[in-house]
C-alpha cells in the first residue's frame, strides 16, 4: 500500500480528519522548534503513511518506506532514503558545485555512487546532505516509514542502533530531521530495552487515534461527499481505522475487501438496536 502512494509522491496527498491534521501540524511545529528526532505512533491502518506524505507540502521531505528493506541499520536507512529520493538529492548536489574538497566531490557523484556512499558511509552521506541543505536554507525532513514491523522483528536492535547513530550526531546534522513511524508495541519494546532513547523520543512524539471518531467521521464524510445512508452504514460497521474508512468509502458494496465482516440485520433487529442506543 505504501509503495503505491509513493509512486505519486510529487502529487498532492489529501489528509482528512481534524485529528490527523492536528497531528501533521504538531510535526511541523516540532521541526520549527528544532526537535530533530520525531516519532509518530499509531496502530496498523491509522494513517501514518498518508500523514507523512502530506507533510511534503509543508517541509522539504525525503520519504522512504522501509517495509521491503532487508536490514534496519543506519546504512540500510540512508540507502533507502537515497533510492527513493534520488531526484531531490541530485537537486541538492547542485548547491555544492562551487565548493572544494569533499563537498565538490560529493556534488559530482552519480546515482550509483550516491547509493554506494549512503550504504557504505551513512554518516558521511548525511553530513554532505546536511551541508547542501544548510547552504540552501532548507530543513530536510527524512521520513522513515515502517522502520519496524513489530516488536518481534529480529532486526529491532539494528534499528534502535540506527536511531542512536542519528541521535548522537544531531549537532553535526543541524539541518536534518528524522521522523519515524512506529507501532505501539515497538515503542513498548524500546521503553523496556533502551530507556535513554525512549526518553529522547518522548520529547517529540505524535500519537494518532486508533479509530476514526464521530467528529472526524463527519469531516471525512463531508470532504468525500458521502450520503447520509453511507455515513449510517459506516457507523454501524463499528469503529474503523482511517484505512478501513477510506476503503469502505471506495468499496461500499463489498466491505469484505476492507477486511470487515458486514452483519446484515433484519428490520426487527435494527429496531432493537436503536432502542438499546437510546
Co-location of 105 and 224 in the same domain: no
Residues 77 and 185 in one domain: yes
Same domain, 61 and 154: yes
pLDDT of residue 7: 39
Number of structural domains in the chain? 2
DSSP string computed for the chain: -HHHHHTTTTS-----SHHHHHHHHHHHHHHHTT--EEEEE--TTSSHHHHHHHHTTTSEEEEEEGGG-S--SHHHHHHHHHHHTHHHHHHHHGGGTT--HHHHHHHT--HHHHHHHHHH-HHHHHHHHHHHHHHHT--EEEEEE-S-S-TT-TTHHHHHHHHHHHHTTGGG-TTEEEEEEE-HHHHHHHHHH-HHHHHHHHTTEEEPPSS--HHHHHHHHHHHT--HHHHHHHHHT-S--HHHHHHHHH-TT-GGGGT--PPP--HHHHHHHHHHH-
CATH code of the domain containing 122: 3.40.50.300
Do 105 and 164 lie in a common domain? yes
- Structure confidence at residue 256 (pLDDT): 87
Per-residue model confidence (pLDDT) at position 194: 95
Please name the residues in contact with 198: beta carbons below 8 A apart, sequence gap of 6 or more: 187, 190, 191
Same domain as 80, residue 28: yes
Indicate the residue among 207, 242, 269 that finishes a domain: 207
Tell me, yes or no, whether 142 and 159 share the same domain: yes
> What pLDDT does residue 276 have?
42
The tens digit of pLDDT for each residue in 137-162 reads 899 999 999 888 888 888 899 999 99
Same domain, 203 and 218: no
Q: Which pLDDT does position 263 carry in this prediction?
A: 53
From 155, 190, 207, the end of a domain falls on: 207
Q: Which residues of the chain have pLDDT under 50?
A: 1-10, 264-278
Strand partners, 40: 181, 206
In this prediction, residue 13 carries a pLDDT of 80
- Burial (0-12, 13-18, 19+ Cβ within 10 Å), 16: buried
Q: Are residues 233 and 120 in the same domain?
A: no
Among the candidates 160, 186, 207, a domain finishes at 207
198 shares its domain with 257: no
- Residues 163, 271, single domain; the answer is no
The answer to whether residues 140 and 66 belong to one domain is yes
Structural domain harbouring 127:
2-207
> What global pTM score does this model have?
0.86
Amino acid at each position: 500500500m505504501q509503495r503505491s502512494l509513493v509512486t505519486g509522491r510529487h502529487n498532492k496527498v489529501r489528509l482528512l480528519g481534524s485529528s490527523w491534521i492536528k497531528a501533521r501540524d504538531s510535526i511541523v511545529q516540532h521541526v520549527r522548534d528544532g526537535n530533530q528526532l520525531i516519532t509518530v505512533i499509531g496502530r496498523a491502518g491509522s494513517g501514518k503513511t498518508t500523514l507523512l506524505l502530506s507533510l511534503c507540502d509543508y517541509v522539504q521531505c525525503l520519504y522512504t518506506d522501509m517495509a521491503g528493506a532487508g536490514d534496519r541499520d543506519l546504512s540500510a536507512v540512508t540507502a533507502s532514503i537515497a533510492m527513493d529520493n534520488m531526484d531531490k538529492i541530485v537537486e541538492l548536489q547542485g548547491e555544492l558545485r562551487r565548493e572544494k574538497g569533499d563537498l565538490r566531490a560529493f556534488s559530482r557523484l552519480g546515482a550509483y555512487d550516491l547509493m554506494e556512499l549512503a550504504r557504505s558511509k551513512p554518516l558521511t552521506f548525511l553530513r554532505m546532505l546536511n551541508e547542501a541543505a544548510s547552504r540552501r536554507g532548507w530543513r530536510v525532513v527524512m521520513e522513515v516509514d515502517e522502520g519496524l514491523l513489530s516488536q518481534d522483528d529480529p532486526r529491532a536492535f539494528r534499528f534502535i542502533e540506527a536511531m542512536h547513530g542519528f541521535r548522537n550526531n544531531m549537532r553535526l546534522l543541524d539541518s536534518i530531521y528524522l521522523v519515524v513511524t512506529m507501532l505501539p508495541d515497538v515503542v513498548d519494546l524500546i521503553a523496556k530495552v533502551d530507556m535513554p532513547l525512549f526518553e529522547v523520543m518522548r520529547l517529540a512524539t505524535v500519537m494518532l487515534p486508533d479509530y476514526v471518531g464521530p467528529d472526524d467521521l463527519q469531516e471525512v464524510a463531508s470532504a468525500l461527499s458521502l450520503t447520509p445512508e453511507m455515513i449510517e452504514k459506516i457507523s454501524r460497521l463499528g469503529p474503523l481505522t482511517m484505512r478501513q474508512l477510506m476503503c469502505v468509502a471506495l468499496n461500499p458494496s463489498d466491505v469484505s475487501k476492507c477486511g470487515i465482516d458486514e452483519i446484515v440485520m433484519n428490520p426487527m433487529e435494527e429496531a432493537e438496536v436503536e432502542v438499546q442506543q437510546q
